[in-house]
Structure 1
Amino acid sequence: MSEIRHIVFDIGKVLIHYDPEIPYARLIPDEAQRRWFLENVCSNEWNLEQDRGRTWEEAEAELIARHPEQEPYIRAFRRHWHEMVPHAYEDTVAILEGLLAAGHDVTMLTNFAADTFAEAKERFPFLKWPRGVTVSGEIGLIKPDPAIYAHHAERFGLEPAATLFIDDSEKNVEGAREAGWQAVQFTAADRLRQDLDRFIVSMKR
């Protein structure tokens, strides 16, 4: 195992809670109808294209053309996005803060629409703490595309084998490993502390 000199954090579901169900539980009270809508209309796959850089105007127009009867609920996705990210994971933020205080080199790599990331950065100041961040919506690439890992490594001068990536998505973790990075899947802050102790034991503290 190479000595780790760089640590890269994902953001959603690692540092910030994200759940589209939160506003839609109020907007579409019927559970079956709500589940159908979030699986077939404003789905994860549809939302991922905004993370790739598609504008909300284009995204909404595409869905409204196919599901005109759902227009109010389609437009509600962006309008109520702030409710989908209600809080940070304070225990993970504390880990991030500790790593930075100890002098570790920390950056972020996230699948995030450019405009919603700008909002998140103002709401959650710790997103400004690391040395920098790659936002998928700003560069037109999304994890686990190998190109986004290469872009991030080149932009921030990271040696892939000396980089540890933290992400909640197994696919994204595997993508990082295929790019030559070390990587761990985030499940909980306690487990992350154990992983960090295992990987960065040789780093300066």
Structure 2
Amino acid sequence: MIKTVIFDLGAVLIDWNPHHLYHKLFDDEAEMHHFLENICTPDWNEEQDAGRPLREATNMLVERFPEHETNVKAFYGRWDEMLGGPINGTVDILKEIKASEKYNLYALTNWSAETFPIAQERYSFLNWFDGIVVSGTEKDRKPFASFYHTLLNRYSVHPSEAVFIDDNLRNIKAAEALGITSIHFTSPENLRIALQEMGVLTQ
């Protein structure tokens, strides 16, 4: 029986995407993609999600790629411009689950502790959660089992009584390995159907 619903945040509830910023900084689409795939890479960003200070991360890349200094510094200097807004369909689902008063609601997110306060200030629906576990604060992240255990232990959640929602299949597989029923997020519409099938949402 499901008692707890655990949401990822980025690309599930919040439209965070570096393209929102770098489309403003690059005239050439191919050059933008090259920059984000080879310089300010997802792997580099994940280290900040795991607790590496933003200043240290930025300085490291500026030293390696001095010709890209301005664009590297923009990643965190203009980070708020990567926030495209809420994903309204998913926010509606979150609201319905909250209103039902049947489930504990938590968020498990890979997010820098230094930038997360910007999101908290901007999106009031983050206050609907009973708890949020932020990777940068814990200095741990998905898909490592220890990060999931932090949430499970802190809030006394039994894996078999929880459902986890994430857009990253890697993170879904990690949750399933711990016995947590999981939904690979592809759209609010598909998420609604999956939650209806589980009985979390009414038809």
Matched residues, percent identical? 38
Q: Which amino acid aligns with 2:58?
A: E
Q: Alpha-carbon deviation of 1:200?
A: 3.0
Unaligned runs of 5+ residues in structure 1 are: none
Deviation string 1:133-181 (CA, Å, 9 cap, x unpaired) is 0000000111010101111100111001111000000000001001111
- Give how far 1:126 is off: 0.4
Partner of 1:16: 14
* Structure 1 partner of 2:65: 67
Distance 2:115 2:199 in 1: 32
Write the deviation string for residues 24-65 of structure 1: whole angstroms up to 9, x where unpaired: 112121222211111111011111111000011110111111
* Number of the residue aligned with 1:53: 51
How many Å separate the matches in 1 of 2:87 and 2:61? 32
The residue that corresponds to 1:168 in the other structure is: 167
- 1:43 is aligned to 41
Alignment of 1:1-205 (within 5 A): 3-103=1-101, 104-200=103-199
Give the Cα–Cα distance (whole angstroms) in 2 for the partners of residues 176 and 101 of structure 1.
Answer: 26
Preserved CA contact (<8 Å) 2:54 2:114: no
- Relative to total residues, which structure has the larger strand share, 1 or 2? 2
- 1-side partners of 2:199 and 2:139: how far apart? 32
TM-score, length-normalised on structure 1? Answer: 0.95
- C-alpha RMSD over aligned residues: 1.3
Structure 2 unaligned spans of 5+: none
SS of the aligned residue for 1:98 comes to helix
SS in 1 for 2:114: helix
Q: How many angstroms apart in 1 are the aligned matches of 2:169 and 2:199?
A: 21
TM-score (norm 2): 0.96
Partner Cα separation in structure 2 for residue 80 and residue 119 of structure 1: 12
User: Post-superposition shift, 1:23?
Assistant: 1.4
Q: Write out the 4+ residue segments of structure 1 that deviate beyond 2 Å after TM superposition.
A: none
